[in-house]
Amino acid sequence: MANITKSSQKRRSWNTTVFMKQLMAISGLFFVVFVIFHSYGNLKIFQGPEAYNEYAHHLRTMFMPILPYEGLLWILRVGLLVFLAVHLWAAANTWKRSNRARGSRYMVKKSASDAYAARTMRVGGVILLFFILFHLGHFTMKWFKIGDANAYNAPEVDGVATAPYLMMQTTFSHWYMVLVYAIGVGALCLHISHGIWSALQSFGWLRKNTKSLIIIVSGLVGAFVFLLFMAPPIYLLITGGVH
């Protein structure tokens, strides 16, 4: 009898809004770490074509022959898709519960700022999802070719692909693509900013006396990631990537 009670309690704890928010926080943290490393790697653009292509080549050949060519990248991509699926599933569950509780007299009233943040998070999340799909279709799968189509299938030089730099160069020579990425990355950074303090709140680590500070720090982290991510596109737009 005690075991049945324990298992039912465990099922209930896995099916709570708090648990769903914690799942969102953990999966979101994985994305934040990935985005920071990804955007940091893109700064190789400032060192010129050779440095950026060497960096891209290093990522594709890392751990060979234990892993096949691009093996590590595909492990990361699959991991990202799994965490994205978990994040979306938990978000959908949280949203449904919120709607169900809306008419309940036991529902805790949210402040205007919290309600606005929640709405912004949902709208920004949808924009971000479409941006991620576009980004993967553009740079990873090469379904969408912006600018010079030949850049996407450029030949190797001394065993190193030249396409990575040329794709960046031809894409961000167009102002509208810089704008598209600014909107997508902006949605990402707003999501990160809100997600940091929301995650701390979900784990019970947010206190009234530290909430304002955490919100400021979260905003600064989001702004930092935005600048980190958008620096290469803006640089390529202004200079044309000519060294």
pLDDT in tens, 3-17: 554 444 455 556 677
Task: Confirm if 211 and 155 have CB atoms less than 8 A apart.
Answer: no
Mean pLDDT across the chain, nearest whole number? Answer: 82
Q: Tell me: pLDDT of 234 over 80.
A: yes
User: Rounded distance, CA 120 to CA 224, Å?
Assistant: 20
At the topology level, CATH places domain 18-99+112-239 in 3 helical TM bundles of succinate and fumarate reductases (1.20.1300)
Is 209 in contact with 138 (CB distance < 8 Å)?
no
Identify the band that residue 101 occupies on the pLDDT scale cut at 50, 70 and 90: low
Tell me whether strands 156-157 and 160-161 are parallel, antiparallel or unpaired: antiparallel
Higher confidence at residue 201 or residue 51? 51
Across 139-152, average pLDDT: 87
Please tell me the least confidently modeled range out of 102-111, 168-177, 191-200, 215-224: 102-111
Over range 13-25, report the average pLDDT: 77
List all residues 6 or more positions away from 36 whose beta carbon is below 8 Å from its beta carbon.
225, 228
* Maximal CA-CA distance, the chain: 74
Give the count of beta carbons closer than 10 Å to the beta carbon of residue 209: 6
pLDDT of res. 107? 47
Matching residue, tokens 């979101």: 28
Q: Are 206 and 228 in contact (CB under 8 A)?
A: no
Distance CA 43, CA 47 (A): 8
Residue 45 reports pLDDT greater than 90: yes
Q: What is the pLDDT of residue 119?
A: 66
Q: Which residues contact 9 (CB under 8 A, 6 or more apart)?
A: none
- Indicate if the pLDDT at residue 118 is higher than 80: no
**Structure tokens belonging to residue 201:** 């709140």
Closest CA to 202 of 128, 89, 82, 94: 94
Helix, strand, or coil (residue 156): strand
